[in-house]
Amino acid sequence: MSCSVISVIPLLQALIRCASVTPEDAGAQVFLAAELEKLGFTCHHLKFGDVPNLFARRGTGSPHICFAGHTDVVPPGPEERWTFGPFNPEIKDGVLYGRGASDMKGAVAAFAAAVAAYLDKNPDHNGSISFLITGDEEGPAVDGTVRVLGWMKENGHVPDMCLVGEPTNPTLLGQEVKIGRRGSLTGVLTIRGRQGHVAYPHLADNPVPRLVKMLSALAARRFDEGNDHFQPTNLEITTVDTGNRADNVIPDSVTAVFNVRFNDSWTGKTLAQDIEGMLKDAGGAYEIEWKFGAESFLTQPGAWPETVKKAAEEITGRIPAYTTNGGTSDARFIVHYCPVVEFGGINKTVHQIDENASVADLEGLVRVYVRILEKILG
């Protein structure tokens, strides 16, 4: 079977023109599916709730390699501050500007271009190739990848390995391969007192000093030293609010919000228990609401991570480091089904005004993905 050749830049520009701010798709997945069908993929449009998702597969055998990513993007912010507009992709001095250029329509376009290039020379390859594309990665992540994975399991599409195209490199292609991510836990801590006049403190109960004591204990705590694959766990206080606009009133209550990024020394549950013990020791009554964002995960270095690392080295001339830094990603769901690693473009402009990716890096990413396919499927 002869396959169409796809150029990464026109494909990426077409995807960027789709204003697919979560959970809107604006035609991005429909366009991508049409391109994949030309390559012999069978496409399934899977909508869960308000979220569009796409699963596409070519072949039925093993090894089965899955490319996972998302077509949704974060809001553009003030559009007048963009040089060319967030959804008007333009190239200037070898750099393509547009929302999603790096996070992560760039990698999705590179996936498709790489598969097309590989199929052009290997139309009768072994195994199978699939795409898991969601429209809910930048949002709640409830009706996206996690729901598609359940559908894949029910329908016999669980892959042997998965590559997520999140932008993993700080400044140069080939710097990092992510083999895991830290977990995320948010605490909403409230201390209640009694409102009163600042001139009559004996008639009131100021909750702020008690909160300050608790936050001081949390900020000073060193949870662990990290390990071979993870940074130390860190806690950051993000807001403190009394809702009090008067400077002569002792507030009735005060609330602080903090977030903890934790390594695999902890689970969300054990970390919450540890923090509650610290707050109790600091003294005074408190209320806390926990918001569990994600557990940490790790794909142990082995055959699949080494394949990606070696492919990146051969194409870029750099030896990537295995890392687990950064925020959360949908790889945290995929790890429960198969080994998963992340390798994509440059992350220095993600979510920013004038988000961009260099043409050279995008074309280099295509070559890395082709090399991975060659190593896995022959």
**Residues tagged active-site:** 72, 137
Q: Which two tokens stand for residue 126?
A: 């072994």
Q: Terminal CA-to-CA distance of the chain, rounded, Å?
A: 17
Element (H, E) at 312: helix 303-316
Q: Taking the alpha carbons of 314, 320, 326, 327 in that order, is the dihedral positive or negative?
A: positive
Neighbours of 113 (CB within 10 A): 26
Alpha helices in 65-104 (DSSP H): none
Check: CB of residue 224 under 8 Å from CB of residue 173. no
Check: CB of residue 176 under 8 Å from CB of residue 320. yes
The residue type of 86 is: P
Residue 47 CB contacts under 8 Å (≥ 6 apart), including other chains: 53
Q: Which two tokens stand for residue 225?
A: 């030293």
Neighbours of 127 (CB within 10 A): 18
